[in-house]
Amino acid sequence: MNSSFKIVLVAAVVFFGMMLLNKPKEKGPQDAPVTADVAQESAQVSISDAELALIPSIVREIGVRDTTGGRESFSYRTDAVALNVTDGRLSGSVSVDSFTVDIDSALVRHFPVEMNVTQQDRAYSALAGELKEIGVYRKFASLRKPVPSVDSVRLQNNVLAIEFDNHGGIISKATLLDAKYKTYFASKADKHQIDSAQVEVFNPGDKASYWFKISYNNNNVATRHLYFTPKQVNDSVVEMTVDLGDGARWGYRYTLPQGDSYLVRMDVIQENTQDVLPQNTTQMTMCWTMELPRLERGLTFEERNSGIYYRYVGESPDNINGNSSKVEELKHSVQWLAFKDQFFSTIMIPRKGFVSGLVKQQAYKVTPESEHIKHLAADMELPYVPGDEVCASIDIFIGPNLYPLLKSVDDKVGSEDGLDLTRVIPLGWSWLRWINTLIVIPVFTFLSGLNLNYGIIILLLTIFIKIIIFPFTYKSYLSQAKMRLLAPEIKEINDKYPGKENAMVRQQKTMALYSRAGASPFSGCLPLLLQMPILIAMFSFFPSCIELRGQSFLWVQDLAAPDVIFTLPFSIPFYGKEVSLFCLLMTATNIIYTRINMKNQPSSSSMPGMKWMMYMMPVMFLFFFNSYPAALSYYYFLSLLITIIQTWVFRRCVNEDKLRRKMAQNAAKPKKKSGFMARLEEAQRKQQAALREQQKGRRR
């Protein structure tokens, strides 16, 4: 098997292996429930006698006191339910449409005959649900009603604008202000159009939300149901709080530094809550959910490189495979948690870490028209100190997956062992990642600073890599040239010692010929060992390089997406409908290179199928790379084209007659056998002797 065939075969095995590892797994339907909260909310609401017995005392605690007429009463009202407690007795009513029914009748499902079954069910569920929630929320119950005429608040710096929702007190929208971060939308009219709107990493339309569960009277109060009062402290600070009465309050303080910061500091603040919240509580739960929106032209890598990432304290970051649906329990301390899209992330970094947690990811069956690609959810336990004014602090990164930016967050947040946030950028296996982090990214960043078109930058990067491996490429060509010149003598050896019984003799004679001539059949594999890691590193680098997002070059609209030139009226298995031009050019160049390379190799009559295998590989790559980013196909196209030019130059510059004379001179010199060659020949002699004994035994 010659070195050219080895190169193609190993390359195919590696690339196909990577593609199989990244093959999408079976995905769930888009409307399937993911979180337990969703399932609980959709269940039939009912209330027990024990829960009902507690309601009068709770209404006395949270209701409006009235002493009109000399009798003390307490009232509590929502849109549908009115409750009163007088002399310890509970009364009231529930309203549905134009019907009003007293609560005693509603609880035993005794409704007017004019009400249909649907209205009766709605009335009972509204009453039972309200009574149940009062039992859970108690002093928090009144905070579940909308606060009238609340002014909206907003924080903004040079790169990030965030808006807040008083319902839940959360960040409701986060917009990236850099002009190059535009939102992609999958329009049936034009699936390759970039909208003028800026990327919104957090968006209510994507059901992005987070809240806390607070243990209160053996129940969990979900803060997402509460209405907070906003307060703009200054240009960088906003407070969202709830008033619990008697000077007690609970809420969030958000800080967005001015300048170019993508970090939002969220402090969970509390005052005088000792009479409201249990003082023996040591943990609270942060719940986080998001319908991950589709933002990119290229769907393949947006699905593959998005998902949930996290890091255990003191360990390397991990993630849930981007194409899988999975529920995973995080049993140890977690340093940070990220909901990641291909090029943008929201990362929660608690100052004291998460104690433990449960993360859930559901991948959808996505079509080109889909608006969301997966559902992400997490329930994370945080350490809680009841007496502290700031009971928890979380730094929230909302921004692009830009390697230098994520690397700088370590210094801003401050962590003893670092955060390693750059691991949310998939740059290849750990043993190859250093090629991207130490060589490719620094060179690419330097070239980007020259303000050149990114197509030119990729060309310069390709030339730089080719210069690095040039000495090895030249040595490989010389080795192939020697093997080609030795082909007639090797044929003579094969003709002189035919048959399986002479296999060892042929091998010995051939190795002796190589040794005398100073040639080696293995030296052609050396550039492979150096080039393959680089090729694989680029396979990971270009689909993760946000700098290429939205960058045009020649006919390419977006180097981070396939360069589709037209769409077929039918779909080809493993190829699809869309035709990418750079992928076609890469394939054509690969076939030309294969033909040239085969001409440079000595003939191999012992492997008649090798020729077709060599040509089959480029065609197979055509099918796999068609949906990959144009930058990747463009790089491989350039790399192959430069290799063809190098081969042509080598052919013109290397004098084969001179090389033949040098090989003859080497053959005439006395050779001292190396220890390895001596052991190899000894093993061959023993094997040959054993073969002769075996043949003698058969003749007997």
291, 207 contact by CB (below 8 A):
yes
Task: Give the pLDDT confidence of 326-385 residue by residue, as tens digits.
Answer: 899 998 899 999 999 999 999 999 998 899 999 999 988 877 778 888 999 999 999 887
344, 320 contact by CB (below 8 A):
no
* Residue 428 clears pLDDT 60, i.e. is over it: yes
Alpha carbon distance 131, 454 (integer Å): 62
Alpha carbon distance 3, 532 (integer Å): 14
pLDDT at position 85 is: 87
Whole-structure pTM value: 0.78
Three-state secondary-structure class, residue 483: helix
Alpha carbon distance 50, 46 (integer Å): 12
pLDDT at position 186 is: 45
Task: Give the pLDDT confidence of 152-199 residue by residue, as tens digits.
Answer: 789 999 999 999 988 888 998 899 998 888 877 544 444 444 455 788
* Residue 106 clears pLDDT 80, i.e. is over it: yes
Task: Give the pLDDT confidence of 450-476 residue by residue, as tens digits.
Answer: 989 999 999 999 999 989 888 877 777
Task: With CA atoms as reference, report the closest residue to 223 among 255, 280, 269.
Answer: 269
DSSP secondary structure string, 512-524?
Answer: HHHHHHT--TTGG
- H or E stretch at 528: helix 526-544
* Residue 96 clears pLDDT 50, i.e. is over it: yes
pLDDT at position 685 is: 66
Alpha carbon distance 56, 58 (integer Å): 5
Task: With CA atoms as reference, report the closest residue to 344 among 176, 221, 210.
Answer: 176
What is the side-by-side strand order in the sheet with 209-216? 219-222, 209-216, 283-293, 372-383, 356-363, 326-330
* Residue 254 clears pLDDT 90, i.e. is over it: yes
pLDDT at position 66 is: 81
Alpha carbon distance 111, 668 (integer Å): 112
**Mean pLDDT of all residues belonging to the chain:** 79
Q: Which position has the higher pLDDT, 388 or 405?
A: 405
Most confident stretch, 282-286, 527-531, 613-617, 653-657: 282-286
Q: Domain spanning 154-422 has what CATH number?
A: 2.70.98.90
Alpha carbon distance 366, 217 (integer Å): 43
Domain ranges of the chain: 3-24+441-668, 36-144, 154-422, 670-700
78, 143 contact by CB (below 8 A):
no
287, 222 contact by CB (below 8 A):
yes
Long-range contacts of 63-68 (CB under 8 A, 24+ apart): none
Provide the token pair at 307: 């998902």
* Residue 481 clears pLDDT 60, i.e. is over it: yes
Alpha carbon distance 338, 344 (integer Å): 10
The CA R_g of the chain, rounded to the nearest whole Å, is: 35
What are residue 193's phi and psi, to 5 degrees? Answer: -110, 135
Provide the token pair at 202: 């957090």
Report residue 77's pLDDT band, with 50, 70 and 90 as the boundaries. confident
Partners of 170 in beta bridges: 165
Report residue 245's pLDDT band, with 50, 70 and 90 as the boundaries. confident
Alpha carbon distance 150, 171 (integer Å): 15
Q: Which residue has the tokens 């309203």?
A: 95
Number of H helices, E strands in the chain: 19, 28
Task: Give the pLDDT confidence of 586-628 residue by residue, as tens digits.
Answer: 999 988 888 877 766 655 444 555 566 777 777 888 888 888 8
Cβ atoms within 10 Å of 212's Cβ, excluding its own: 23
pLDDT at position 4 is: 45
Alpha carbon distance 401, 617 (integer Å): 34
Q: Which residue has the tokens 């009766």?
A: 120
Provide the token pair at 296: 């990119």
551, 454 contact by CB (below 8 A):
yes
* Residue 268 clears pLDDT 70, i.e. is over it: yes
Averaged pLDDT for residues 233-246: 87
DSSP secondary structure string, 298-362?
Answer: -HHHHHHT-EEEEEETTS--EE--TT--EEEEE-S-EEEEEEE-SSEEEEEEETT-BSEEEEEEE
Task: With CA atoms as reference, report the closest residue to 225 among 306, 133, 144.
Answer: 144
Three-state secondary-structure class, residue 691: helix
* Residue 675 clears pLDDT 70, i.e. is over it: no
Task: With CA atoms as reference, report the closest residue to 486 among 646, 664, 286.
Answer: 664
pLDDT at position 185 is: 54
Alpha carbon distance 694, 103 (integer Å): 100
Provide the token pair at 2: 């010659």
- Side-chain half-sphere CA neighbours of 302 within 13 A: 24
Q: Which residue has the tokens 């955060």?
A: 419
Ramachandran class of 594: left when φ > 0, alpha when ψ lies in -120 to 50, beta otherwise: alpha
Task: With CA atoms as reference, report the closest residue to 201 among 308, 344, 305, 309.
Answer: 344
Q: Quick one: what percent of the chain has pLDDT higher than 90?
A: 22
